[in-house]
C-alpha cells in the first residue's frame, strides 16, 4: 500500500511545527507498512500534476509569507481544484486554510486573493493587538465519535462564512475571536487554525486522513492496524485537564 502526498510551500508556510504533521503521517504509515511518499513544491518549481496526489498539505504563515506565495498559489488553482474534485484530500493549516477561501484581508487592509475553492473569507482587525493567540481545545465528530483535539492558535484573521466547521470550540477562539466554530470540514478537507503541530497529540485525526487516502481507490474497506497511542493521548489529557479545568 502506498500514499502520495504533496507538501506545498514548506519553506515559507511552516509555523509552530506545522511541517511536523508530515513527519507524523509518515511515521504512522511506516508503522503499518504503508509506503508514504512526500513530494515538495514551492514557488517557481515545475507545476506538479495535482490529481496524482492522495493528499495536498499547506501549513500556516505570517502575512508576509502569504503575500510571497500568493501569485504562485493562484497559478496552481486549476490543478488543485481538479485534484480536490477528484477526491484528493486537502489538509490546510491557518494561512493555508485562509488562502483556499475567497480572500484574506490583513491588518493593513491588503487583500490576498484566495483560490475560492470554498465560500468563506478572512479579515484581520486593523488593531494588531486583537489577535487570537493561545492554546485551543475543540471537539470534533469527523471520525464518527466525539474526539477532543488540542493545539495552538495564533492568527489575526477572522474567518467568516464557514458552513461546515471542523469542530466546536471548548477552549480558545477558533474561526473568529471567541467563536464556537473552528475550521472547515468536508470528507476530503480538513482546514484548521490548530498548530502544534496539530497531529502530534491527536492521532485520530492523522488516522482519519491516512484511512481516507488508502481507501479512496479501494473497492473494499481497508482497516488501519491499531497503534499504541498511549503517550500521545496522555500528553493530550494533560493539556485538556489544564485548560478545561481552569
Ligand atoms: N497571517 C495569518 C493571520 O495572522 C495566518 C497566521 C497563521 O498561519 N498562523 O491571520
Phi then psi dihedrals of residue 33, to 5 deg? 70, 20
Query: Does residue 173 register a pLDDT over 90?
Result: yes
Q: With a 6 A CB cut-off, is 94 part of the ligand 1 pocket?
A: yes
Task: Work out which ligand 1 atom sits closest to the CA atom of 61.
Answer: 8
When pLDDT is cut at 50, 70 and 90, the band that residue 139 belongs to is very high
Nearest alpha carbon to residue 65 among 130, 6, 10: 10
Distance (Å, whole) CA 86 – CA 51:
7
Task: Work out which ligand 1 atom sits closest to the CA atom of 96.
Answer: 8
Q: State the residue for C-alpha cell 493587538.
A: 129
Pocket test for ligand 1, best of 66, 96, 197 (most atoms within 8 A of CB): 66
Q: With a 6 A CB cut-off, is 20 part of the ligand 1 pocket?
A: no
Could you tell me which residues come within 8 angstroms of residue 219 by beta carbon, excluding any fewer than 6 positions away?
none
Q: With a 6 A CB cut-off, is 66 part of the ligand 1 pocket?
A: yes
Which pLDDT value is given to residue 246?
78
- The whole-angstrom distance between residue 217's C-alpha and the CA centroid of its chain comes to 22
What does pTM read for this prediction? 0.98
Is 213 known to be catalytic? Answer: no
When pLDDT is cut at 50, 70 and 90, the band that residue 190 belongs to is very high
Question: 62 CA distance to ligand 1 centroid (A)?
Answer: 5
When pLDDT is cut at 50, 70 and 90, the band that residue 186 belongs to is very high
Query: Does residue 129 register a pLDDT over 90?
Result: no
When pLDDT is cut at 50, 70 and 90, the band that residue 58 belongs to is very high
Distance (Å, whole) CA 214 – CA 2:
7
Is 94 known to be catalytic? Answer: yes
CB 182 within 8 A of CB 165: yes
**Judging by beta carbons within 10 Å of its beta carbon (0-12, 13-18, 19+), is residue 92 exposed, middle or buried?**
buried
Q: State the residue for C-alpha cell 511545527.
A: 17
Query: Does residue 194 register a pLDDT over 90?
Result: yes
List the domain boundaries for the chain.
Answer: 2-244
Q: With a 6 A CB cut-off, is 232 part of the ligand 1 pocket?
A: no
Nearest alpha carbon to residue 72 among 46, 91, 53, 50: 46
Q: With a 6 A CB cut-off, is 154 part of the ligand 1 pocket?
A: yes
Could you tell me which residues come within 8 angstroms of residue 125 by beta carbon, excluding any fewer than 6 positions away?
107, 156, 158
- CATH code assigned to 2-244: 3.40.50.880
Task: Catalytic residue, from 94, 132, 176, 213: name it.
Answer: 94
Task: Catalytic residue, from 7, 29, 195, 213: name it.
Answer: 195
In angstroms, the Cα distances linking 245 to 132, 192, 238 are 21, 24, 11
Distance (Å, whole) CA 120 – CA 114:
10
Amino acid at each position: 500500500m502506498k500514499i502520495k502526498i504533496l507538501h506545498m510551500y514548506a519553506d515559507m508556510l511552516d509555523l509552530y511545527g506545522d511541517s511536523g504533521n508530515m513527519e507524523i503521517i509518515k511515521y504512522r504509515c511506516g508503522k503499518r507498512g504503508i509506503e508514504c511518499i512526500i513530494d515538495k513544491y514551492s514557488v517557481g518549481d515545475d507545476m506538479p500534476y495535482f490529481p496524482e496526489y492522495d493528499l495536498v498539505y499547506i501549513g500556516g504563515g505570517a502575512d508576509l509569507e502569504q503575500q510571497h506565495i500568493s501569485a504562485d498559489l493562484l497559478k496552481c488553482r486549476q490543478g488543485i481544484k481538479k485534484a480536490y474534485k477528484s477526491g484528493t484530500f486537502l489538509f490546510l493549516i491557518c494561512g493555508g486554510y485562509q488562502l483556499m477561501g475567497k480572500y484574506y484581508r490583513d491588518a493593513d487592509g491588503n487583500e490576498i486573493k484566495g483560490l475560492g475553492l470554498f465560500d468563506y473569507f478572512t479579515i484581520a482587525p486593523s488593531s494588531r493587538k486583537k489577535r487570537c493567540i493561545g492554546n485551543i481545545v475543540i471537539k470534533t465528530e469527523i471520525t464518527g465519535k466525539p474526539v477532543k483535539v488540542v493545539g495552538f492558535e495564533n492568527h489575526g484573521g477572522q474567518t467568516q462564512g464557514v458552513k461546515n466547521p471542523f469542530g466546536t470550540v471548548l477552549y480558545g477562539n477558533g474561526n473568529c475571536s471567541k467563536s464556537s466554530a473552528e475550521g472547515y470540514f468536508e470528507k476530503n478537507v480538513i482546514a484548521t487554525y490548530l498548530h502544534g503541530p496539530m497531529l502530534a497529540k491527536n492521532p485520530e485525526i492523522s488516522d482519519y486522513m491516512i484511512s481516507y487516502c488508502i481507501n479512496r481507490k479501494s473497492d473494499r474497506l481497508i482497516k488501519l492496524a491499531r497503534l499504541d497511542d498511549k503517550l500521545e493521548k496522555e500528553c493530550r489529557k494533560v493539556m485538556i485537564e489544564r485548560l478545561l479545568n481552569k
